[in-house]
Amino acid sequence: MIGSSPGLMQDYPLTVDRFLEHGAKWHGAALVATAGAEADQSIGYAALRDRANRLSGALIDLGLKPGDRIATLAWNTQHHVEVWYASMGVGLVCHTLNPRLTVAHLAAMVAKADDRVLAVGAGLRDTAEALLDACPSLERLILLDGDTPEAGRPEVIDLEGLLEVGGRAVRWGQFDETALAGLCFTSGTTGAPKGVGYTHRSNYLHTLRALQADSIALTARDSVLVAVPMFHANAWGLPFAAPAVGARLVLPGRSTDGANLARLISRHEVTVAVGVATVWLGLLDHLDATGGETPSLERVIIGGSSCPDSLLQRMEQRLGATVQTSWGMTELSPLGAISPRSDKPGAARGSGRPPLGLDLLLTDADGAPLPDQRNTVGRLKVKGQSVVNAYFGAGASAVDEDGWFDTGDLAQLDDDGNLTLAGRSKDLIKSGGEWINPVEIEEIVGALPAVGLVAVIGRADPKWGERPLMVIEPAYGQQIEDENLRAALKGQVADWWIPERIVRVEAMPLAATGKINKALLRATYGDA
């Protein structure tokens, strides 16, 4: 009898390969365009799907099996998208690495992930070969974006050569939707990198969340410029969302300068552009200098850090587009809240509201829910089907007994549920949408004999949101030049972590506990 059946719906695993399969079947001619030095490279979803599928076969023939990790150190290009789908389509785990980090940081992540293969984009070969030498788990380098291998290194092969020699069609899927699809580390923002493992199910449901009408809301008529890096929290899910609806995908390669972005917007009639605020500041400056226009552009979606109202107004006036502000985290896949696309230019919006599939909770310092969840500041916790439950390899849960994940942010919600961040409970610095860990800087500088005490705080910056500022109390009778302080950091942390401004004080302010009073330092030096 029909009524005795345990379920009346088909078992349809929610795996991310279905996005490109759908795009290839129903929007096969819709283009994925990659910026090039002389000419842009374009390919339809149908052809891209065939190449990615054949690449899956080549990866299997390298000895990779479901669950193995393949790392990528690459830019936003067609080849990078192909590696994403080729690996995820057969149950491999795609581990995206941030090229802005040092070799030491990257090597720690590769070792923790136990990556077996590294796919490397143009201009990053030296870093990749240093990782190959430093990481015993790495067996192969795959060169992307037209780079070709040198003689004498059989473990290095280019993607086109790999397709030519070993490319073969295989069947995608055939694994559980709860299997890992992707891995992204949080860049060591708490002293050691934490891995966030995205499952196929979580990525699939995150894509549906992003496609909601008051969210990123892409359609087949859109042309989407992805200026947020593919190594940054799933590129906000756009390589999944675009083929899911047949939107054209525009990839800037390794260059997100204003001139390149303006050219891509014009050439590919971009309707939606996505990235952190500093990227769009470069675009605005270029347009002002050249008198250029962006008539096709309808929406700009920004995130990464809070954006000054003056920049929002300048963007909307100069670009003639509506700006959607958003908030998210690596641990959220990453979309947490976004202002509705229906908002009129100039509307006050904070970071927007959470789409269906994510819930927010404000608590006190002890974790108890605030009795009034509106118009009061509390610790921000989240829960949802695309929120981390445990960090990769950590074993222990990352959520409380009720399933809430503590973001470490302070926030408030207005009467309409719009989220506004009110600072962070931790001392991390967010610069240009990327995190800087002041503890690492302090440990290096604090080891210098001429330094008595050191503190690094975030200082408001009109371009980057925040930049690190170093406060030094010299050791008794000692002097040390700024150049020597920065030289100690060179090569130990990423160059963009190094503070431009250094302040010296006779006595470091201390709290009652004896710890450095960073709250007082921020109040004194934190404003631009």
Task: State the pLDDT at residue 345.
Answer: 61
| Strand bridging mode 156-158 / 180-185 | unpaired
Which residue from 353, 366, 308, 358 is spatially nearest to 326, judged by alpha carbons? 353
Which residue from 100, 130, 135, 101 is spatially nearest to 117, judged by alpha carbons? 135
Q: Is the pLDDT of residue 189 over 50?
A: no
Could you give the domains of the chain?
Answer: 17-338 (3.40.50.12780), 358-424 (2.30.38.10), 429-525 (3.30.300.30)
Q: How many of the other CB atoms lie within 10 Å of CB of 38?
A: 4
Q: What's at 269, amino acid-wise? A: E
3-class SS of residue 401:
coil
Q: Is the pLDDT of residue 68 over 90?
A: yes
Share of the chain above pLDDT 70, in %: 93
Across 138-166, b (16+ Cβ under 10 Å) vs e yields bebbbbbbebebeeeeeebbbbbebbeeb
Task: State the pLDDT at residue 513.
Answer: 46
Task: State the pLDDT at residue 188.
Answer: 52
Q: Of 313 and 422, which is predicted with more confidence?
A: 313
Task: State the pLDDT at residue 153.
Answer: 82
Q: How confident is the model at residue 511 (pLDDT cuts 50, 70, 90)?
A: low
Tell me the backbone φ, ψ of residue 158, rounded to 5 degrees. -90, 155
**Structure confidence by residue, pLDDT tens digits, 10-48:** 999 999 999 999 999 999 999 999 999 888 999 999 999
Residues annotated as part of the active site: 186, 331, 430, 435
Q: Are 473 and 484 in contact (CB under 8 A)?
A: no
Lowest mean pLDDT across 335-344, 381-390, 494-503, 510-519? 510-519
User: DSSP letter at 332?
Assistant: G
**Structure confidence by residue, pLDDT tens digits, 308-349:** 677 788 899 999 999 999 999 999 999 999 999 765 665 656
Predicted TM-score (pTM) of the model is 0.86
- CA-CA-CA-CA torsion sign (57, 63, 69, 75): negative
Helices marked H in 114-229 — which ranges? 125-134, 159-166, 200-210
Q: Of 349 and 501, which is predicted with more confidence?
A: 501
Q: Are 143 and 159 in contact (CB under 8 A)?
A: yes
- Token output for 349: 């919006």
322 half-sphere exposure, CB direction, 13 A CA radius: 15
Which residue from 480, 476, 485 is spatially nearest to 445, judged by alpha carbons? 485
